[in-house]
Amino acid sequence: MVTMQAAVVTFVRSHTVGTLHLLGFTNIAEGTRWARDDSARQFTVLGLTE
């Protein structure tokens, strides 16, 4: 049986990879570094900016 925490981590990871692919990243490590380096990008991608 999979714990709820493991299921949530898997869900978030899967959607993160999918979003990076939609943004045009083919290298996931490069995409996560891009998002990590400027936290404002994360909010912009999610549409959470004014």
pLDDT at 11: 93
Both structure tokens of 27: 């290298």
Q: pTM of this prediction?
A: 0.72
List of residues 6+ apart from 20 with CB closer than 8 A: 28, 31, 32, 35
**Cα–Cα distance, 44 to 37 (Å, whole number):** 14
pLDDT at 31: 93
Each residue's pLDDT tens digit, 1-50 = 678 999 999 999 999 899 999 999 999 999 999 989 998 888 888 888 76
Q: Are 45 and 32 in contact (CB under 8 A)?
A: no
Number of other CB atoms surrounding residue 20 within 10 Å: 20
**Which residue, chain included where needed, has tokens 């999918």?**
18
pLDDT at 24: 95
pLDDT at 29: 94
DSSP 8-state class, residue 26: S
